[in-house]
Structure 1
Amino acid sequence: MIDTHVHFWELSRGYYDWITKERLKLCRDFTPGDFVDVIENTDVESCLAVQAAPMEAETDLLLSYAKKFSYIKGVIGWTDLSSRSLSTSLDYFKDHSAVKGIRPMAGVQSGPEWLGSDYDAGIEALSKNNLILEALALPKHLSAITSIAQKYPSLVIVINHAAKPAPNDWAYWSKRILEFSNLENVFCKLSGLTAQSLDIGHYQVIFDTLLDVFGPSRLIWGSDYPVLLETSEYVSWLKVTQYLLERLTFNEKRQITTITAKQVYKL
C-alpha cells in the first residue's frame, strides 16, 4: 500500500500557525522516523509527503526528508500560484523530481469560486509543467474544480479527502461529485473521512458514490496522518479501508491502495 497523504512537521520552525495548543493531538513534532513506527506491522510500504504550510521553505523541508527516507516516494509541495514570480518557483521544482504536485491552501477558506481568476495563469503553468493540482476543497468548491478540469484537460487534478463531505452536505456533495464522472483528468483521494463523521454508514455511502463516479482506476487511498489522530487512529483507518473495500476483487483493491497512486504520481 502507498499512503498518498501524510504530513510531517517540526513546530519549532514556526510554519504552522493553524496548529494551536488547543489541538492537543497535533501540537508536537511528527517526523518521518515517527511514521516508520506507525506503519510497522501494516501493509503500508511507502508514502507521499504533503505540505501543511503555505510556504516554499516547508516544501524544502519535505524534500530533505525524501532524500533521507527512501519510503517517501514523492512530495506534494506549495508555491503561490498567483505570484508573478511563479515561473522561478516552478523552474526550481523541475530540478527536484520528488515534487509531484502543488497544493494551494487559500482556496479552502474561500467562497464557491475556490481559487478565482488570480490563479488562472498559475493553474495553466501547472498543466504545462506536468505538475498535479492537489485540490484541498470543500463540497461548495466542486463546481469550480469541474470548470478547471474542463478548461485544462491535460491538467491532472486530485481531490483531497473527497472534498470533506459531512453528513449534512450529502445531497449537495453527491450531486456535485457526479460531474466528474466523465472527466478523466480528475482523481479522488479516499482519505480524511473521519474528520467529518465517525459513522461507518456515512463512509460506506461516500465510498459507494466515489466508486460509481471514479471507479478503482481514479481512486487513490491515503490516511491524512497525523491529522487523522484527532478523530481516529492509523490502524483504525486501515480497518475501515479494509471494510469498505471488502467486496472488491483483489485487483480492484490493489488499484485503489497502490496502482492508481503509482500511475498518477509516476512513482
Structure 2
Amino acid sequence: MNKVIDPHIHLFDLDKGDYLWLRPEQPPHWSDKHQIYRNFSEVDLSLGEKQAFAGFVHIEAGFDNRSPWKEVKWLESTVTLPFRSVACVDLTQNENDFEVAVEKLKTFSSVVGVRHILDEQAAILLTDQRVQNNLSTLAHNDLLFEAQFFGKETQAADALASLLERFKDLKVVINHAAFPTPIDMGIWRSNLSVLSECSNVFVKASGWEMTDRKYSLKHMQEVIGHLITLFGENRVMLASNFPLCLFSKKYQTLWECYTKLPFSEACLQKLTHDNAHKIYAF
C-alpha cells in the first residue's frame, strides 16, 4: 500500500475565518465557485484502498490575512492527522513588522513556511528591496517560501532564480508547477530549467484545474515528466490543491490518476510521500 502526504490542501471554516476570496460577490468570479463555498475538514480527505493517508501540508487560505497566526491556531486546535502549516505573510511589510510576524508564527509547532501569492506581480515583488530583505529573514529563520507565479513569465522566473542564488539558505517551493498550459509549454519549460539549476528550489505538481477545468491526463503526465527531467525525482511532489481540485475531479479520483502515471513504483512513492515528508520536515 502506497503512503500519501498531500503537500497542498486548504481547509475552511466559514463561521470562523474571513475567506474573502470565497465569497460569491468577491473576485475571482468563477461560475463554479459555489461548489467550494462551504466548510471542509480533514474528514473530507479520503483515499482509495490502495493508498494510506499519512498527512498533509495546509496552505494558507485567507482565514485572517491581518493576523495569519489565527488560522494556524485554529488548525492546531482541530486537526488530528499529522500535518504542517504554511501561513500567510505580507512580504511588503516593513522589516520590523515582518520580523514580529515571523516570530509569532514560529511559536506554532506546525509552521514550516509562509506564502505571499505573487501571481502577476511576481517580477515586481521579487525585485523589491523590502521584499528581498524579508525573504532573507525567512532564510535566517529556517522557514520555506511557497512561490506562486506563472512559469511563462520569464522576468518572474529570472528574478526568482537571482534571489535563489543570493539566498542559498532560502528553501523555495514552486506552487502548482507554475501553471503550465499546452500552449505555453516551451517557454514554461525553458524558465523552469533555469530555476531547476538552483538546488534550493522544489516544485509541487497540482492545481491542474486552475488553468483548465477539463485538463487531460496526457497534459498532466507530460508536465510531471518534464518536472522529473528538470528537477530530478527528489525535488518534485504531487499534490491536490483540495478542495479546488473538486472543480474537475473527486479527491480520490485525482490520487488514483497519480497512481496510474507511467513512472516506477519507487519514483511514485517519492512523488506522493517521501519528498514531502523530507521537504516539510514531518
- TM-score by structure 2 length? 0.86
**2:157–2:195: 8 Å Cα contact kept in structure 1?**
no
**1:2–1:44: 8 Å Cα contact kept in structure 2?**
yes
Q: Does 1:226 align with 2:238?
A: no
Matched with 1:49 is 58
Matched with 2:40 is 30
Q: Does 1:162 align with 2:177?
A: yes
Q: Does 1:136 align with 2:118?
A: no
Alpha-carbon distance in 2 for matches of 1:200, 1:190: 13
Any gaps of 5 or more consecutive residues in structure 2?
Answer: 25-30
Cα displacement (A) at 1:111: 5.5
Structure 2: which amino acid aligns with 1:263? K
**1:157–1:186: 8 Å Cα contact kept in structure 2?**
yes
**2:205–2:237: 8 Å Cα contact kept in structure 1?**
yes
Cα displacement (A) at 1:194: 3.1
Matched with 1:237 is 254
Alignment of 1:149-188 (within 5 A): 149-188=164-203
**2:60–2:71: 8 Å Cα contact kept in structure 1?**
no
3-state SS in 2 of match to 1:251:
helix
Any gaps of 5 or more consecutive residues in structure 1?
Answer: none
Alpha-carbon distance in 2 for matches of 1:9, 1:56: 17
Matched with 2:13 is 10
Alpha-carbon distance in 1 for matches of 2:113, 2:90: 13
Give the aligned CA root-mean-square deviation in angstroms.
2.0
Matched with 1:63 is 73
Alpha-carbon distance in 2 for matches of 1:25, 1:96: 31
3-state SS in 1 of match to 2:36:
coil
Cα displacement (A) at 1:132: 0.3
Q: Does 1:87 align with 2:94?
A: no
Q: 1:72 to 1:114 in 2, by over 3 A?
A: farther
Q: 1:52 to 1:116 in 2, by over 3 A?
A: farther
- TM-score by structure 1 length? 0.90
Percent of pairs identical after alignment?
23
Q: Does 1:253 align with 2:268?
A: yes
Alpha-carbon distance in 2 for matches of 1:52, 1:99: 14
Alpha-carbon distance in 2 for matches of 1:12, 1:100: 26
